[in-house]
Structure 1
């Protein structure tokens, strides 16, 4: 393992098999998950982005969805009996999870949040999820990722609509 973070320590302490991979983190270069997929040479459907949202401004939730997908916030809200969900401010997310923006992981959070894993991710043999720092991901089976954080698996994302031609 090249780097220890609270996420990698969490996975190791739970006996979850994983490997660590780094990539060039370029915050001004577009979608980070897509950058990671390109950098490590894998299908974007295998690279999962980690987002922290608020349901009805009161319930913090961690979402893990394919990098090339859009989140359906109405479906996320409904999972928690809410009316709407929106992205949490980066400062608030960092205070809750212990991870700075661009390095948020569902593993090893300072305050463990409920995690929802996109059902689409479960179709992959392995996925890449943020390892708790910018430019760092873990390769893990989606089943292990789901089990170790007791994530709900749900239909919360879809690929973006094709551009009209």
Structure 2
């Protein structure tokens, strides 16, 4: 059997000597996080999605929130020190991050953007995030995600 190609996220975790678990699932195109959790058997509470936003200043921010929650743009703006933030349009995602919708990992984007992991992740030893490709998830310790993304925790959900 052929060895699976590593994504940028996996290479960065390897280089940083961070342990992680790889989960794959069959998927031809974007599915939401709830379907990903169902397909992999990952606990919904520990499964997180990545949202890329842009502040009024033009700076982009990576926000990582539980899949069953909605981003609170006002809270997120306050946490990152912006007047407002809005979600980046899906058409901009690939050029901006190197990732497609449904495969956007907070680790290994084309450029290192300020990253905020919702503080709900602090209660877990490990959480599930996109691995950098549709059909691939990674199980990683929240502290390790913050270490490699140089991110921080913040309350950013409703």
- The separation in 1 between residues aligned to 2:71 and 2:28, in whole angstroms, is 22
Q: Does 1:101 align with 2:101?
A: yes
- TM alignment of 1:16-35, pairs within 5 A: 16-25=18-27, 27=29, 32-35=32-35
- TM alignment of 1:16-95, pairs within 5 A: 16-25=18-27, 27=29, 32-56=32-56, 58-95=58-95
- The separation in 2 between residues aligned to 1:153 and 1:110, in whole angstroms, is 22
User: Over residues 37-96 of structure 1, what are the superposed CA-to-partner deviations in whole Å (9 max), with x where a residue is unaligned?
Assistant: 111113211111011011116110011111011111001111232222111012322112
How far apart are residue 131 of structure 1 and its match? 0.6
How far apart are residue 152 of structure 1 and its match? 1.6
Q: Which residue of 1 aligns with 2:148?
A: 148
Q: Which residue of 2 aligns with 1:111?
A: 111
- The separation in 1 between residues aligned to 2:134 and 2:151, in whole angstroms, is 23
- The separation in 2 between residues aligned to 1:103 and 1:111, in whole angstroms, is 16
How far apart are residue 28 of structure 1 and its match? 6.7
Unpaired runs of 5+ in structure 1?
Answer: 159-165
- The separation in 2 between residues aligned to 1:138 and 1:16, in whole angstroms, is 12
User: Over residues 5-44 of structure 1, what are the superposed CA-to-partner deviations in whole Å (9 max), with x where a residue is unaligned?
Assistant: 1111111111110011012336576xx1111111111321
Q: Helix, strand or coil for the counterpart of 1:45?
A: helix
| 2:118 and 2:156 in contact (8 A); partners too | yes
- The separation in 2 between residues aligned to 1:21 and 1:34, in whole angstroms, is 15
TM-score (norm 2): 0.91
| 1:45 and 1:121 in contact (8 A); partners too | no
Q: Which residue of 1 aligns with 2:129?
A: 129
- The separation in 2 between residues aligned to 1:53 and 1:106, in whole angstroms, is 12
| Cα 1:28/1:114, change in 2 over 3 Å | closer
